[in-house]
Structure 1
Amino acid sequence: MPSPAGHRTSSPARGLPVGRRGFLKTSLGASASVLAAPTFAGWLAAADAKAATALAFVDDYRTNVAANLTADTNAVVRILDGFARTWRTGSAWNTGTVLSADVLRADMRHCAEVTRRRTDAEARKAFLYDRRHQSYAMIAGLGPLAGLYQDGSLAVTSITEAPDGTPATTVNDAVPAGAPAGSALGAGAHDSALGKVAELVDTVRGPYASGNPAKYAYQYPRPWRMNEDSEVVDTGRTDAYGFPVYDSEVTVAPQLLRQRGTSPADDGGFPSGHTNAFHLAGLAYAYAVPERFQELVARALELSDTRIVAGMHHTVDVIGGRVMATALAAAALADPANADLKAAARAQALAYFEARTGATADTLYAYAHAAGPDTDPYADRAANERAARPRLTYALRRHGADRPLTVPKGAEVLLETRQPYLTAGQRRDVLRSTALPAGYVLLDGAEQWGRLDLFAAADGYGAFDTDVTVTLDAAAGGFSAADSWRHDIDGHGGLTKRGTGTLTLTGANRYRGGTVVAGGTLVAASGEALGRGDVQVTAGTLRVAGTLLVRGTYTQGAGTLDVTLRTDGGAPLRVGRRAVLGRGSTLSLTLGGQHPPAAGRILAVLDAPRLRGRFDRVELNSDRLRAVPVYTADGLSVRLVKR
């Protein structure tokens, strides 16, 4: 919330009712009596009661305007009210009261340590993303599609490098001289080849998406104006740039010293506006280009982290910016007024990238992930996950017991293009089963938008709390035709796979309700992929990628079991109880490895304590060998013979 360029105040505390030496009236050390009440559980109950009487955020988000600065009048201020458990706003920018000493002290220590260890390269990076239009900065999350997007959208920036030291003046992004006609900042021009996507980004970042009302509502000073005890201490001195010097261990990156807000009362830290903007743009791009959904979420989290590295924001500011952006993006995407636009943006992006890459809806995902980490910084999914997870909570500590999440109304729209084969209710189940646990005070505000973990949700269910039936359609293309669920899925429910498409399970799954393959292909990509229950194949294909353990009973009345024969002699399918094979069942065998076995070898296929029945048909992918089944009471092997 910067003030106009050139406006400076040499003593921001002048005329305000502060304590000795300019301290906030209540320091962390003096806040113990405040912490005694209310209890955390009591606060949660009060927050729930308040939320129950309010409109859902997605129905009320248009109240986020400058005239509304209270939780009762502004939906954004309301969903951020977890911060009200930590900080009580004062009558002025430096008269607030600390309520949670442990939270704010840990926050300040984290910020101080990050800026103390900041390298020159990190400072330069922080400058770029402070000054560059946030919607443009997010484009890099598109990876191999980023350059194509810039060409098609005519998106440009003038912030291409960081200065060695502190610039002589303020720096702002602009359309650079010599840019192609029609070029635009941010997401690009609305009349470009990707104009609908640019328009969607700008709409999600529309007039009701500002963080300024919440900044004025909470009036939480930026970290460089505070010390470890969350006190504002004005030393009475000014620096070389005319800014007051505060007693703080958090230092601002040299490149940004002149870019700071000059009016503390108009320059609150919570929530971070840049963070809000990064995530809003990222989720809009992710809706239009879901092939890069997870990478865009990771990009938004990384760029938001540069606000802490810059010394411009607290960790709590960044968390608050993410929380509000998640809710605001869902509200804009769920708004019926934007239904045609979001559909047009998705269709336009898909058609454009197919035309420019030669890919199809089925192969665009592979193209979008074809680059290595040397050109795509988000190529390593595991590295993205390692970086993303701690940025969801930073220095926050959990208090109290976990409790199930009631997914906020409308949140499921955020996964609408990423998991189009699921119903709205199923997408809500995905969000709930992958959510962060309760007990993080900033995340447990009204509606608990902060508990949503969109990076994790992109990988499908975290638990089957009820039986799940999923239908994928090969003809629909994209994620509707094929997707992977990567979590270690728990729960007492089971899975039924229908349709003609392909679903891959990669986790060490623990769900107990059993698995039914009733159409299409279910790929078991780990030994524990099918959980701990019975497995039935009634139609379609069960493909075993490696070795699969079925802990219960395996029954195949029809359909195909597709396995790769192991040259070490181990059975690809091991059954814990019994195996029952019926009429119409097919066994499809693949010879694996660079050196396939020779004729005469006997290779195991299925081990079980008891085996009943036989496959109607046995196929082998070889033009020189055929497989002769050898059944026993406790398993099946095949002898390879020449054709």
Structure 2
Amino acid sequence: MISLKTLTCSSALGLLLATGAVAQDAPARPTGLGFEGTAPTAENVPAYIESGATNQRSDACMATVDTNAGVRLLSGFLKVWEPSTLLVDAGVEAEANGDCPAIVKSDWDGIPGSATDGKILDQAVHDHNMDYVVQVTASRSAQQAIGAYLDDRRGKNISMLDGLGPLADAWKNGAHQFTTITQVQPDATSVKYDDHGNNRGLGSVGDEEAETDANEDLGLAVDFINAMSADGSTEPAKRFYKYGRPWRWDSDVFVVPALEPAKSGSAGTDGGFPSGHTAEAWRDGLAMAYLVPERFQEILTRSVEMGDSRIIAGMHSPLDVIGGRMLGTATVVYNLNLADNAELKSTARVQVLDWLYRQTGTETEAELYTAAHAWPLTDDRFADAELNVAYVAPRQSYGFEAVASDAGAKDVVPAGAEVVLETRQPYLTAEQRRVVIKSTLLPAGFPVMDDAEGFGRLDYIRAADGYGAFEGDVTVTMDASLGGFNARDTWRNDIAGAGMLTKAGSGALTLTGDNGFTGGVVVEGGELVAASRSALGAGDVYVAGGTLAVGARGVDIGGDLTVLDDAGLAIRGLAGEAAAVAVEGNLTLLGGTLDITLPESAEGVTLVSASAIEGTFDEVRLNGAAVEVTYSADAITLAAAQ
């Protein structure tokens, strides 16, 4: 390590002049925008978390767009399709209730184009909706057909187990789950097979009639998943919108042959919009992701896959699936915010951790996370995060074009939507989670997805990867002593915006995106890891405490870099010939530590480059041992071995 004490006077003077290693004031730290971002709720719109209990059928006071939360949520469909009546009345009747008149069964026969059918209002959207199913069912593979059959006939939660990857067997055993459908039987094209298993498994309370005991393993988890589906039926919306299944609309829709026996013979009560299987996949998926945030995105990718399988099966259209996703999501947000579920969501998570620790031989959330991602892609089809994102992206809006007049809609976040992320991002405040959701919303203007509260634009899979933009300043305060994501997390999104990021507390936060935010970075505590060249955005970087760690790809800093005496810079590997830390502006060092992890033969490697360098590090280590570096006017390099 270089020390002025070992240099001659002339050499020391030269170094002082070259590096400015005299006492100097620290440059001003970035100031950012001076305010934090916000995520407003929609104005003058009934919040689903306050009205979700109205999603009922057979109640005269909950039978219209204005009085049924589930129907209202999906009312964007009324721009595409006008049902024959605007009531929850397909095969449904209800007695008068106070000022609410009685509901009489609709005469809708469920046959597209019949005298009792509704009216297409947006022919282009409807045509794309059906053409998509025709194309998909004509080109599906044999393996896709098998998957679609299994997702149709067996309990939906059994299918959702796939999202747990290496943890699936442990969960299945703890929930005491079983299914009677494990394959496509040879005679399935003529015989309808029903699942006589128990879908989600056994709850914490025994059932004398069913002759089942209380489940002391994952019974509370099963209770929680059941609770997240309360008031979540898709039947009210199906019986309001009265929109036929795709195979009734178009004879070119090729239903999986083994599912022919599963087709309903009662068209007048068999509406396609929204998809019930999809809604259940999202209800169960979000509930399981809450309990096992270590597999958050993988589980929700399975929810997307199950919705998509309904199209592959020929049983539903893209708009059916989008509607199911929206209603399933809104149902979970509603139930997670109920005071009656506050204790259950906490005790269920504790039980899940205890059970999975014992089953996997782990003791901490960090170890469990590792175990949850231990399988290669050949054994865990959700093991690759980038592949998951690529799979999900086109299935969010299914190729529909955004309506230009709606594309500029204000970004709003549903009341209570942030609760879904509280186990996945426990180190953020509730308002910060709302802002994360806002910054990762899907684009506005797509059919059906433009509901007033914003449920149609939610993208929890992307939100789990952190902010998509800093529209205000963001301070992340982590506490490593709490373990799990409090101790270590990664933000993979590309982050835009004019805001500033401050990393405080302990714990480590890794940034991997192609980030363009301009407000700068301040490191006050813990560790901020730059795992891409553009991880730190385009502003100044100020390391006041803790450590700025740089991955093997190195990092480019668009402004100035300042390191104070109580802080550190860590360089962990170096790929390529560029400097590990390339500073476009000035580098100012007021002491601090430079900790390098590189091959021992890396002398002469450029560690840091800058327009100008002032000061030196107090201590420099290579692989844990003191080492000398060479400072010049614009670079710091590893000194050659003596």
Q: Same fold (TM over 0.5)?
A: yes
Alignment of 1:373-384 (within 5 A): 373-384=377-388
Give the equivalent residue in structure 1 for 2:221.
197
> Residues 372 and 447 (structure 1 numbering): CA distance in 2 closer, same or farther, change over 3 Å?
same
Give the equivalent residue in structure 1 for 2:89.
none
Give the equivalent residue in structure 2 for 1:415.
421
1:608 aligns with 2:610: yes
1:62 aligns with 2:62: no
1:638 aligns with 2:632: no
Deviation, structure 1 residue 565? 5.8
Per-residue Cα deviation, 1:109-161 (whole angstroms, up to 9, x for no partner) = 11011111233332222111111111221111100000011111101111111
8 Å CA contact 1:135, 1:201 repeated in 2: no
Per-residue Cα deviation, 1:261-295 (whole angstroms, up to 9, x for no partner) = 11111100000000000110010000000000000
Structure 1: how far apart are the matches of 2:317 and 2:123? Answer: 15
Structure 2: how far apart are the matches of 1:51 and 1:84? Answer: 20
In structure 1, what residue type is equivalent to 2:606?
A: A
Give the equivalent residue in structure 2 for 1:17.
none
1:457 aligns with 2:480: no
TM-score (norm: length of structure 2): 0.84
Q: Helix, strand or coil for the counterpart of 1:580?
A: strand
Structure 2: how far apart are the matches of 1:167 and 1:602? Answer: 71
Q: Helix, strand or coil for the counterpart of 2:453?
A: helix
Deviation, structure 1 residue 51? 7.0
TM-score (norm: length of structure 1): 0.84
8 Å CA contact 1:566, 1:603 repeated in 2: no
Give the equivalent residue in structure 2 for 1:499.
505
Query: Percent same amino acid at aligned positions?
Result: 42
Deviation, structure 1 residue 362? 1.6
In structure 1, what residue type is equivalent to 2:148?
A: A
8 Å CA contact 1:565, 1:604 repeated in 2: no
Deviation, structure 1 residue 55? 2.1
Deviation, structure 1 residue 635? 2.2
8 Å CA contact 2:495, 2:514 repeated in 1: yes
Alignment of 1:109-508 (within 5 A): 109-175=131-197, 184-190=198-204, 191-192=214-215, 193-206=217-230, 208-227=231-250, 248-359=251-362, 360-400=364-404, 401-508=407-514
In structure 2, what residue type is equivalent to 1:454?
A: Y
Structure 1: how far apart are the matches of 2:53 and 2:158? Answer: 25
Root-mean-square deviation (Å): 1.7
1:513 aligns with 2:519: yes
Deviation, structure 1 residue 363? 1.8
Give the equivalent residue in structure 2 for 1:45.
none
Deviation, structure 1 residue 568? 6.4
Per-residue Cα deviation, 1:618-643 (whole angstroms, up to 9, x for no partner) = 122156xx42132222222231546x
Residue in structure 2 matching 1:551, options 558, 561, 569: 558
* Number of equivalences: 556
In structure 2, what residue type is equivalent to 1:140?
A: D
Higher relative CO (Cα under 8 Å, sequence separation at least 6) belongs to 2
Deviation, structure 1 residue 335? 1.1
Residue in structure 2 matching 1:560, options 568, 578, 581: 568
Give the equivalent residue in structure 2 for 1:46.
none
Per-residue Cα deviation, 1:306-333 (whole angstroms, up to 9, x for no partner) = 1111111111101100011111111111
Deviation, structure 1 residue 167? 4.6
In structure 2, what residue type is equivalent to 1:631?
A: Y
Deviation, structure 1 residue 255? 0.9
Deviation, structure 1 residue 472? 1.2
8 Å CA contact 1:512, 1:531 repeated in 2: yes
> Residues 542 and 78 (structure 1 numbering): CA distance in 2 closer, same or farther, change over 3 Å?
same
Structure 2: how far apart are the matches of 1:260 and 1:565? Answer: 59
Structure 2: how far apart are the matches of 1:530 and 1:452? Answer: 26
Per-residue Cα deviation, 1:537-565 (whole angstroms, up to 9, x for no partner) = 00000001021111101011131100136
Give the equivalent residue in structure 2 for 1:18.
none
Give the equivalent residue in structure 2 for 1:240.
none
8 Å CA contact 1:561, 1:586 repeated in 2: yes
Q: Helix, strand or coil for the counterpart of 1:425?
A: helix
Q: Helix, strand or coil for the counterpart of 2:628?
A: strand
What 5-or-longer segments of structure 2 have no aligned partner? Answer: 1-40, 86-107, 112-116, 205-213
In structure 1, what residue type is equivalent to 2:619?
A: R
In structure 2, what residue type is equivalent to 1:185?
A: N
Per-residue Cα deviation, 1:227-277 (whole angstroms, up to 9, x for no partner) = 3xxxxxxxxxxxxxxxxxxxx211221111111111111100000000000
Q: Helix, strand or coil for the counterpart of 1:363?
A: helix
8 Å CA contact 1:553, 1:576 repeated in 2: yes
Structure 1: how far apart are the matches of 2:575 and 2:338? Answer: 56
Give the equivalent residue in structure 2 for 1:238.
none
In structure 1, what residue type is equivalent to 2:68?
A: N
Per-residue Cα deviation, 1:24-68 (whole angstroms, up to 9, x for no partner) = xxxxxxxxxxxxxxxxxxxxxxxxxx9744420111100011122
Structure 2: how far apart are the matches of 1:501 and 1:622? Answer: 21
8 Å CA contact 2:42, 2:414 repeated in 1: no
Deviation, structure 1 residue 347? 1.0
Structure 2: how far apart are the matches of 1:363 and 1:119? Answer: 38
